Amino acid sequence: MSAAPQSSAASLRLRVAVVAIESARIKRLAMLVAAAGHEVAAFGQAADAVLTDGRAEALGAPVVAMGAVEGEFAGFLPEEAGPAQVDAALRAVAAGLTVGPLERRKDGFWALPEASAPLLTPREVEVLAALADGLSNKAAARRLGISPHTVKFHTEQLFRKLGANCRTEAVAKGFRKQIVEF
Amino acid sequence: MPDIAQDAFNQFSAALAERVAAARGLVAGIRMRGHSPRSGTLWRKDVVVASEQALPDVVEAEVTLADGGVFPARVAGRDPGTNVAALRLDGTPEPAPQPAAEPLPGALVLALAANGSDGVAARLGAVHSVGPVWHSRAGGRIDRRIALDIRLDRYEEGGPVIDPAGGLLGISTLGPRRRVLVIPAATVERVLNPLLTTGRVARGWLGAAVQPVLVPDALHSAAGQPLGLMVIGITKDGPAAQAGVLMGDILVAVDGAGVGSPSQLAELLGPEAVSRQVQLRLVRAGNILVLAATVGARPAR
């Protein structure tokens, strides 16, 4: 791969309006905007995005809400989000995407997973755990005391059973719903 | 010219509105500082139940009954296992819900909720499916699996679900992909007393993370079954650790009852299992091994 030139999107400075009720909050949000490398829009000035503590009304620009978990916002950030997350969220909403922390997606009351096909063998589970730890076939073989060839065989079985095309996908699919804590 | 004012459609509509009016005494709006309002169900005198997953982590709340009256409320207990939270109030009327008939797929139900401004919101839909007892991911035992063909907004979760005769089927709950489930009245009743007295529902706990696996062919007959639960994580000093369970062991039975799926194990680890001595039957390194364990209580979240 050739070295890509500095992307213009990555260096783009956004103009961000800050909306909160208390002046201390406004100050804190403005500091985050600055730390994220963006410009705080003056009152009444057009903005590319809005950072708020959750009390913003319609403002004509996509809104990232900090500390809010619901509402008609394009983005949601936890109260403790740092400049890097604020930067990522502001860029994303300015580009027309929605943003939320991962845990929001866990919503819903789920049943225990059933022991449904395709079930893995104990050895396949061990190999999957080695993949999850980022081990190479060789390192996995050393850990499990089997040959790299056997690891490769189990890995292929895992890909087939889980319908995965790569190690990351196998790990994601293999561990997603199957593990239960008792 | 048929009499439109008296035709079946009009009567049906009027009957629905009547049912909603008759059940509105059960509908509770829950307000909390800094959060948007939620819905709940006046379950007993001075007790409102709500959806645990929908209720923010607060202690104080204010409950508005759709029939009138605003009450300060305290969150008395939460059970993520059955998705029931209990709020304690003072001075509410005694609700008088009818018991619901056995739900049948296709039968109509009404899902009621607080509408956020002291009134009632109502949704009409069919029972999508009815299944047997099931276990939630958090380990709770839910008496029936009742799915509704209704969409609910997030704030409506936890309101009463009413059958065509006006019987209280249970409370609404958002499941995976926002499908609407009902936590049956029997389940709410079962967890309510422990919630009100101790704030939680105790459940058996082994301190092990497990994953269903195939038992190696050669061990099928010794294990007594083709499926088992492989231990892939052990809580330090938890019951499994103290019993000598190791990572990689395959649990096949508890006290002689086969555990080939997570729900079979969950069934054996209900509230009554806490402190019980059990025999864990395991496959380790190709051999069958039996270890004695003392079931603990699942730690609070």
List, for residues B233-269, the tens digit of each pLDDT value: 899 999 999 999 998 899 999 999 999 889 899 999 9
pLDDT recorded at residue A6 = 44
Domain residue limits, chain A: 15-104, 122-176
* Cα–Cα distance, B144 to B133 (Å, whole number): 5
Domain with CATH 2.40.10.120 in chain B: 1-201
pLDDT recorded at residue B39 = 96
Domain with CATH 2.30.42.10 in chain B: 204-297
B246 touches chain A (CB under 8 A): no
Closest Cα in chain A, distance from residue B2 (Å): 47
| Mean pLDDT across B7-28 | 94
B116 touches B29 (CB < 8 A): yes
pLDDT recorded at residue A168 = 77
pLDDT recorded at residue A86 = 92
Partner-chain contact B145 A181, CB within 8 Å: no
Of the candidates B139, B214, B262, the beta carbon closest to that of A113 is on B262
Both tokens of B125, joined, read 């839909």
Best mutation target, B52, B58, B210, B213, to test chain A (most A CBs within 10 A): B213
Beta strand B98-99 with B167-174 is parallel
pLDDT tens across A72-88, in order? Answer: 788 888 887 888 889 99
Q: Considering only CB atoms, which chain B residues are within 8 Å of A110?
A: 136-137, 175-176
Between B45 and B300, the more confident residue is: B45
Low-confidence ranges of chain A (pLDDT < 70): 1-11, 55-59, 69-70, 102-107, 115-117, 175-177
Interface of B with A in 2-41 (CB under 8 A): 36
B177 touches chain A (CB under 8 A): yes
B93 touches chain A (CB under 8 A): no
- Residue B249 bridge partners (DSSP): none
Closest chain B CA to residue A109? B175
| Mean pLDDT across B261-287 | 92
| Mean model confidence pLDDT for chain B | 92
| Mean pLDDT across B8-23 | 94
* Burial (CB count <10 Å: 0-12, 13-18, 19+), residue A39: middle
Of the candidates B135, B178, B232, the beta carbon closest to that of A111 is on B135
Q: Over 60: is that where the pLDDT of B1 sits?
A: no
Rg (CA), chain A: 23
| Mean pLDDT across B194-211 | 93
**A95-98: long-range contacts at Cβ-Cβ below 8 A with a sequence spacing of 24 or more?**
A95/A9, A96/A62, A98/A74
Domain A122-176 sits in CATH at 1.10.10.10
pLDDT recorded at residue B167 = 96
Q: Over 80: is that where the pLDDT of B8 sits?
A: yes
Closest Cα in chain A, distance from residue B7 (Å): 41
pLDDT recorded at residue A68 = 74
* Cα–Cα distance, A146 to A82 (Å, whole number): 44
Domain A15-104 sits in CATH at 3.40.50.2300
pLDDT recorded at residue A9 = 55
What sign for the dihedral angle of Cα B184, B186, B192, B194? negative
pLDDT recorded at residue B275 = 94
Closest chain A CA to residue B204? A182
| Mean pLDDT across B32-39 | 89
Q: How many CB atoms lie within 10 A of CB B223?
A: 22
B195 touches chain A (CB under 8 A): no
Q: How far is CA B290 from CA B243, B256, B264, B282, B287, in A?
A: 10, 10, 18, 6, 10
* Cα–Cα distance, B45 to B59 (Å, whole number): 20
Nearest to B74 by CA among B213, B195, B212: B195
Domain B204-297 sits in CATH at 2.30.42.10
Domain B1-201 sits in CATH at 2.40.10.120
pLDDT tens across B108-148, in order? Answer: 999 999 987 778 999 999 999 999 999 998 889 999 999 99
pLDDT tens across B140-181, in order? Answer: 999 999 999 999 988 999 999 999 999 999 999 999 888 999
Residue in the structure block whose two tokens are 């049948």 = B104
pLDDT recorded at residue A103 = 52
pLDDT recorded at residue A4 = 43
* Cα–Cα distance, B40 to B48 (Å, whole number): 6
Backbone dihedral angles phi then psi of residue B36, each to the nearest 5 degrees: -75, 160
| Mean pLDDT across B208-227 | 86
Q: Considering only CB atoms, which chain B residues are within 8 Å of A113?
A: 137, 212, 262
pLDDT band for B203, please (50, 70, 90 cuts): very high
